[in-house]
Structure 1
Amino acid sequence: MSDRPMIGRLATAILVIALLYFAQSFFVPLAFALFVIALVWPLQAALQRRMPKLIALLITLSGTIFVIGAVGSLSAWGFGKLAQWLFLNAGRFQTIYRDWVAWLEEHGIAVVGPITDRFDVAWLLGFVQGIAGRLNSFTGFAVLVLIFVMLGLLEVDDFNARLRQPGVQPFGEKMLRANREIGHKLRRFMVVRSLASVLTGFVVWGFALLAGLELAAAWGAIALALNYIPFLGPLIATLFPTLFAIAQFESWQMAVIVFISLNIIQFVIGSYFEPLLSGASLKISPFAVIFAVFFWTFLWGLAGAFIGVPILIAFVIYCAQEPSSRWLAALLSAGAPAKTEDP
């Protein structure tokens, strides 16, 4: 009998995961909209104290569209330049790649065999063009997100008032407290992440110029955009320039230098600069972050890779609100989680 509640919870979790996967066309823009609302609500609230609510909403949405459009356009431009370069230099890249494969096979590295059957320049070109195409065609997704954001910003005051009603206590006050903390931490997370991304983009651009890498500005733009995705983004931003250094310089030594240098840049900024800015308030277990990134990537693809950590932050804060789930918040935190007093 004691196993039945556990089996029931497991079955419920499986059903929820299945729902999130099969209904992702609704839940993904909704998750992004809630994330954006948490980021821009202080601006909306400050503006609507000085002007009519609808005008404040228009200004807030205009600023949001500008920021999202700027980052999206920069990413699409970087990957577009990359795809164009690869298309023009595909023959040279393929020749060098085959020479390296032949050399490795001559030295008895058998693992190269399966790779040669699945990887070639055509596959790499398709991969890069696919990313650039997705970035260029996210207009419909962005419009749906902005519709949710607009409706949500109009509803925030009324929703908070309903949470303060006596009939929804003590859960209403707990949700208000959790929502305020989530908004604060998500805003700090994005400020820190944005500063680190901009710094990463400029440093990578400067290194590419010094190293003589072609498409230096594109590498900087790609590094800036991908740095918003923990672990997976910096990895891709490191591997791509290394592969293209092989084709450009036709030297494995230069490729190794590029690879090591880019990893040092990512390590210094990610392991020193970001923690210095974020302080103790955003400490989450690195394992939990990796799991969140891969789990939500599995469910929602590239969008899940970006939104996975904000969802984890919200989950940890909500778990910390209830005594029965604080053990989860403690396990998912990198240090002792902030104590939450019961009302």
Structure 2
Amino acid sequence: MPDHASRWMLGLCTGILVAVALHLAEAVLAPVAFALFAIALAWPVQRAMQSRAPQLVALLAAVLVTLVVLVLLALAIGWGFGRVARWVIANAAQLQALYAAKLDWLEARGIGAAAALAGEFDMRQLVRIAQAVILQLQGVLGFLGLTLVFVILGLLEVAVAGRQLARLGRHSAAAAGVLRALTRTAARLRAYMLVRTVMSIATGIAVWGFARLMGLELAAEWGVIAFVLNYIPFIGPLLAILFPTFFAALQFGSWQAALTVFVVLQAIQFLSGSTLEPRLAGARLALSPFMVLVAVFLGALLWGIPGAFIGVPALILALALCQEFPGSRWVAELLSGRVPAEGAPPPG
């Protein structure tokens, strides 16, 4: 028993040290993680091209596709959040007057919290937040540039690495298991991103249509923001609801309008994330919702928003690796989110 407890404590300490190291090395490891994710998605393009064209041409085609996708995603993020931030800065005086009027309304009804609210918050803080958002968006270009360098180098070596693992797999069961896990993970990641992209587009269109119907300013921007944030499970849809709700309260000056925006956007996100997406994903991408939430928040704790995005792909890889080895297969079964068949024997 003491040995068993010591192993658990050693594993816990190792996990904490690894998490600290990942956090401290974010500037390098986050682009590497995104590059590996992009390589898993872009490799089929390169492999298909290599059967029809020289390797260099196939590599250029895969890099070009990756570059276009990354640039479009960066432009969508920058345009949506940047436009909202600039709108807040341009209308700061109007928003401050609206905020003061609401505080006066509370004071007139004897609500003593108004003075405390006035002391704790003013619209200048919101303007500073908007300016910080614009500055953060400028760092996206550097992040994408470094990621693209890793993608190019990785696509040059992915075929060689695959052949090396296949060669090692003939003599090592562990290497063969790792190769199978990586192959299966790449296929699952492509399916995952396809489903996420379809649902993100549908969600963005629905949010844009409702915002237009509601008369909410920056309707197109809210649609783009909902499209981008929908790639981050749980956190993204929540932010895509809260941002327009707060904005509606500022624009209309009415809690009824803000409540309407909140309820309708919540219904859109629920229909997308809890009804349609599981049907499209099917059992092949079944994951425990609890573990998805843990992966998203753990990734956000380590690397912020990029970590929240990469958390679920990392979980898919971890479960694929666990499934390949008898000693950890029960972990993959437990966290897969699949309901075992009646009377099915336990794994392993």
Q: Same fold (TM over 0.5)?
A: yes
Other-structure match for 2:138: 136
Other-structure match for 1:298: 301
CA 1:65–1:171 in structure 2 vs 1: closer, same or farther (change >3 Å)? same
Matched, 1:318 2:337: no
Residues 134-143 or 152-161, more deviating: 134-143
Query: Which letter does structure 1 place at the counterpart of 2:52?
Result: R
Shift of 1:277: 1.1
Other-structure match for 2:68: 66
Matched, 1:226 2:253: no
For residues 7 and 183 of structure 1, what CA distance do their matches in structure 2 show?
33
Other-structure match for 1:187: 190
Residues 222-231 or 167-176, more deviating: 167-176
Q: SS in structure 2 opposite 1:138?
A: helix
Residues 124-133 or 240-249, more deviating: 124-133
1:156-202 deviations in Å (ceiling 9; x for gaps): 11111111225651112111110111001100111111111111111
| Overall identity of the aligned pairs, in % | 45
Answer whether contact 1:80 1:129 (CA < 8 A) is retained.
no
Shift of 1:331: 2.9
Answer whether contact 1:194 1:228 (CA < 8 A) is retained.
yes
1:20-45 deviations in Å (ceiling 9; x for gaps): 01111111111111101111111111
Query: Which letter does structure 2 place at the counterpart of 1:126?
Result: R
Query: Which letter does structure 1 place at the counterpart of 2:230?
Result: N
Matched, 1:239 2:242: yes
Q: SS in structure 2 opposite 1:203?
A: helix
Answer whether contact 2:288 2:336 (CA < 8 A) is retained.
yes
Shift of 1:251: 1.4
1:241-284 deviations in Å (ceiling 9; x for gaps): 11121122121111111111111111111111211211111111
Q: SS in structure 1 opposite 2:283?
A: coil
Residues 30-39 or 138-147, more deviating: 138-147
Alignment of 1:1-343 (within 5 A): 1-2=2-3, 3-101=5-103, 117-166=119-168, 168-336=171-339
Work out the number of aligned pairs and report it.
341
Shift of 1:96: 2.9
For residues 126 and 317 of structure 1, what CA distance do their matches in structure 2 show?
44
Shift of 1:80: 1.5
Structure 1, unmatched stretches of 5+, are: none
Shift of 1:120: 3.3
Answer whether contact 1:189 1:278 (CA < 8 A) is retained.
yes
CA 1:158–1:238 in structure 2 vs 1: closer, same or farther (change >3 Å)? same
1:186-220 deviations in Å (ceiling 9; x for gaps): 00111111111111111111111111111111111
Q: When the two structures are superposed, what TM-score results if normalisation uses the length of structure 2?
A: 0.91
Shift of 1:222: 0.9
CA 1:332–1:107 in structure 2 vs 1: closer, same or farther (change >3 Å)? farther
Answer whether contact 1:178 1:318 (CA < 8 A) is retained.
yes
Shift of 1:108: 5.6
CA 1:113–1:289 in structure 2 vs 1: closer, same or farther (change >3 Å)? farther
Residues 183-192 or 227-236, more deviating: 227-236
For residues 265 and 210 of structure 1, what CA distance do their matches in structure 2 show?
14
Q: When the two structures are superposed, what TM-score results if normalisation uses the length of structure 1?
A: 0.92
Answer whether contact 2:229 2:237 (CA < 8 A) is retained.
yes
For residues 337 and 175 of structure 1, what CA distance do their matches in structure 2 show?
25
Query: Which letter does structure 2 place at the counterpart of 1:306?
Result: F
For residues 226 and 128 of structure 2, what CA distance do their matches in structure 1 show?
20
Shift of 1:98: 3.8
What is the Cα-based RMSD across aligned positions, in Å?
2.4
Answer whether contact 1:79 1:129 (CA < 8 A) is retained.
no
Shift of 1:122: 2.5
Shift of 1:117: 4.9
Answer whether contact 2:86 2:130 (CA < 8 A) is retained.
no
